[in-house]
C-alpha cells in the first residue's frame, strides 16, 4: 500500500529544514570548523543542573498542570508586571517554538495570513503553513529594518498576525524603540495579534531590546525562552505571556499536544532565574567584536547587536549563497546559506557560538575565499 496517497495536503507545504543538509555534511567531515550551529557553546550552570537532578530524585517526574508550575508562572508574571506595569497571563511552553506553534494553532485558519520580515527564522514559514495559514514575508533588505510602510502594504483583510523577532535570527539585528512602536501601532490599527519572539532577549550587546508590551500589551503575545540564555536548549523551556483569553486557548491546545513542559526542567528553571549568567553576554559581545573585525575587510554585513549570528553578503564571484557555502564546506568550514532564511540566496549565516580559535580559523578561510580570483 502506498501510504503517501493518504498523506494530508499540509505535508506538501512543509519542507525539511535546509540546515539539516549541512549537519549531514558536517557528519562526513573530519574536525570541521562548524560555524553553523544556533546554540550556545556553554553548558547549563552547575546549580541549575543540580536542581534538575534533585527534582528527579525527589520524585518530581510526573505531569505538571498544563499551564506550568504555579510558582514559576507567578515568578514570570511578577517580573513582567514590574517591568511593564501590566499583568499578563503566563503559559510555560516547550520552548519558544512550542509557544509559537500553540499561538498559530489558536489564531490561524486556512487562508489567514501571517506577516513577518524577510530574512526570517527558518520555522516561521513552515509553522504558518502547518497551521493552514499563508506566510507573507516582507522584504527588509538591505538593512533588515522594520519598515512600517512596507509592512502595512502587505496587510490585507485576511491578515491575523504580525510576527516580529528581536534580536533576530539570522541577522542579529535588534529593533529600535521606534520600530517596535511602529509594529505595535500597526497591530492596534488593524486589529492584529503582535507576536514578539524574544528568544535572544538576554543576549543584547549594545543596550536592551525594546518590547511591544510597552506600547500595546493587549495586542501582544510575548514569547521568551531559557535555552539560549542558560545553555538549556535541549530542555525545551520557554513561556508565553499575553492577554488571558489568548493564553487560555493556547493552554487548551497544550493539553492535547505537548501536555506540559518537562517537569524537572520547570523546577530547575526556578533556580536558573536566581543564577547570574551575565558573563555569557559579556563573552559573546567579545565574540561578536572578534568575528566582525575579521569579516569586515572582505564582506558586507550589518553589524549585529544581539544573538550570535552575522548575516553576510556573499562575494560577487559566487552565483548563490548555496554555492558559496558548499565551497566553504569543501574547505572544512560550515556556514548556512541565506535561502534557508529568506526568499533570496545572496547571504550566508555565520554563528559565533563557538570558541575564539574556531572563529579565527573559519573566518580566515572565508576571507581567503572572498579574495580569491
Q: Is residue 353 part of a domain?
A: yes
Q: What is the mean pLDDT of residues 250-262?
A: 95
Given a cut of 90, whether residue 258 has pLDDT beyond it is: yes
Same structural domain for residues 265 and 286? no
Express each pLDDT in 60-105 by its tens digit: 999 999 999 999 999 999 999 999 999 999 999 999 999 999 999 9
Total structural domains in the chain? 2
CATH classification at residue 183: 3.40.640.10
Residue 142 has pLDDT above 90, yes or no: yes
Alpha-carbon distance of 171 to 300, in angstroms, equals 12
Please report whether residue 256 resides in a domain. Answer: yes
Is residue 15, in this structure, part of any structural domain at all? yes
Threshold 0.85, pTM exceeds: yes
Q: At 112, list the grid cell.
A: 489567514
The mean per-residue pLDDT over the stretch 211-227 comes to 96
Domain assignment present for residue 213? The answer is yes
* pLDDT score of 367 more than 90: yes
Residue 54 included in any domain: no
- Do 281 and 214 lie in one domain? The reply is no
Domain that includes residue 112, residue range: 59-272
pLDDT over 90 (residue 151):
yes
Asked if residues 109 and 161 have their Cβ atoms less than 8 Å apart, the reply is: no
The verdict on 137 and 151 lying in the same domain is yes
The answer to the question of residue 52 being in a domain is no
Mark whether 220 and 202 lie in a shared domain: yes
Instruction: Quote the pLDDT of residue 192.
Output: 98
Both 321 and 208 in one domain: the answer is no
Statement to judge: residues 103 and 193 lie in one domain: yes
d(CA 174, CA 166): 5
Last residue of a domain, one of 272, 303, 318: 272
Residue at which a domain ends, from 272, 305, 320: 272
> What is the tens place of the pLDDT at every residue in 4-38?
777 778 877 777 776 666 667 666 777 889 999 88
Question: Is residue 273 very low, low, confident or very high in pLDDT (cuts 50, 70, 90)?
Answer: very high
Query: Does a structural domain hold residue 340?
Result: yes
Tell whether 222 and 105 lie within a shared domain: yes
DSSP character for 9?
G
Has residue 158 been placed in a domain? yes
In terms of domains, do 312 and 328 share one? yes
pLDDT exceeds cutoff 90 at 277: no
| Average per-residue pLDDT for the chain | 93
CATH number of the domain encompassing residue 289: 3.90.1150.10
The C-alpha cell at 141 is 533588505
Mean pLDDT of 191-207: 96
What is residue 22's predicted lDDT score, i.e. its pLDDT?
Answer: 65
Same domain (yes/no): 18, 163: no
Query: SS3 letters for 212-228?
Result: HHHCCHHHEEEEEECHH
pLDDT above 90 covers what percent of the chain? 83
Q: Which of 228, 254, 272 is the last residue of a domain?
A: 272
How confident is the model over 303-338, as pLDDT tens digits?
A: 999 999 999 999 988 999 999 999 999 999 999 999
C-alpha cell of 193?
495579534
319 and 212 belong to one structural domain: no
Look up residue 85 and give its three cell numbers: 506595569
| Same domain assignment for residues 130 and 214 | yes
N residues, the chain: 373
26 and 70 assigned to the same domain: no
Cβ atoms < 10 Å from Cβ of 110:
9
At residue 239, does pLDDT exceed 90? yes
119 prior amide bond cis, ω within 30: yes
- The grid coordinates of residue 228 equal 539560549
Amino acid at each position: 500500500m502506498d501510504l503517501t496517497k493518504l498523506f494530508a495536503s499540509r505535508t506538501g507545504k512543509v519542507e525539511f529544514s535546509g540546515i539539516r543538509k549541512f549537519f549531514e555534511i558536517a557528519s562526513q567531515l573530519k574536525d570541521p570548523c562548524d560555524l553553523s550551529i544556533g546554540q550556545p557553546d556553554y553548558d547549563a550552570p552547575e546549580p541549575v543542573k543540580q536542581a534538575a537532578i534533585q527534582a528527579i530524585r525527589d520524585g518530581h517526574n510526573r505531569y505538571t498542570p498544563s499551564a506550568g508550575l504555579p510558582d514559576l508562572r507567578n515568578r514570570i508574571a511578577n517580573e513582567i508586571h514590574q517591568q511593564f506595569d501590566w499583568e499578563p497571563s503566563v503559559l510555560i511552553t516547550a520552548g519558544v517554538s512550542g509557544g509559537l506553534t500553540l499561538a498559530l494553532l489558536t489564531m490561524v485558519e486556512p487562508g489567514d495570513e501571517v506577516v513577518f520580515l524577510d530574512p526570517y527564522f527558518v520555522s516561521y514559514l513552515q509553522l504558518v503553513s502547518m497551521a493552514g495559514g499563508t506566510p507573507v514575508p516582507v522584504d527588509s533588505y538591505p538593512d533588515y529594518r522594520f519598515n512600517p510602510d512596507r509592512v502595512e502594504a502587505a496587510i490585507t483583510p485576511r491578515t491575523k498576525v504580525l510576527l516580529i523577532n528581536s534580536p533576530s535570527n539570522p541577522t542579529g539585528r535588534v529593533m529600535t524603540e521606534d520600530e517596535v512602536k511602529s509594529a505595535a501601532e500597526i497591530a492596534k490599527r488593524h486589529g492584529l495579534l503582535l507576536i514578539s519572539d524574544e528568544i535572544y532577549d538576554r543576549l543584547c550587546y549594545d543596550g536592551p531590546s525594546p518590547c511591544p508590551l510597552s506600547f500595546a500589551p493587549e495586542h501582544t503575545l510575548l514569547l521568551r525562552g531559557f535555552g539560549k540564555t542558560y545553555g538549556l536548549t535541549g530542555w525545551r523551556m520557554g513561556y508565553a505571556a499575553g492577554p488571558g483569553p489568548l493564553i487560555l486557548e493556547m493552554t487548551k491546545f497544550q493539553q492535547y499536544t505537548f501536555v506540559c513542559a518537562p517537569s524537572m526542567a520547570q523546577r530547575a528553571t526556578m533556580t536558573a532565574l536566581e543564577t547570574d549568567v551575565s558573563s555569557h553576554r559579556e563573552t559573546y559581545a567579545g565574540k561578536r567584536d572578534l568575528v566582525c573585525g575579521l569579516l569586515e575587510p572582505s564582506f558586507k554585513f550589518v553589524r549585529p547587536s544581539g544573538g550570535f549570528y552575522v548575516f553576510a553578503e556573499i562575494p560577487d564571484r559566487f552565483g548563490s549563497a548555496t554555492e558559496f557555502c558548499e565551497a566553504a564546506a569543501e574547505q572544512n568550514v560550515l556556514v548556512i546559506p541565506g535561502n534557508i532564511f529568506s526568499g533570496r540566496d545572496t547571504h550566508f549565516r555565520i554563528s559565533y557560538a563557538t570558541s575564539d580559535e574556531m572563529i579565527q580559523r573559519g573566518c580566515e578561510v572565508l576571507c581567503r575565499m572572498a579574495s580569491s580570483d
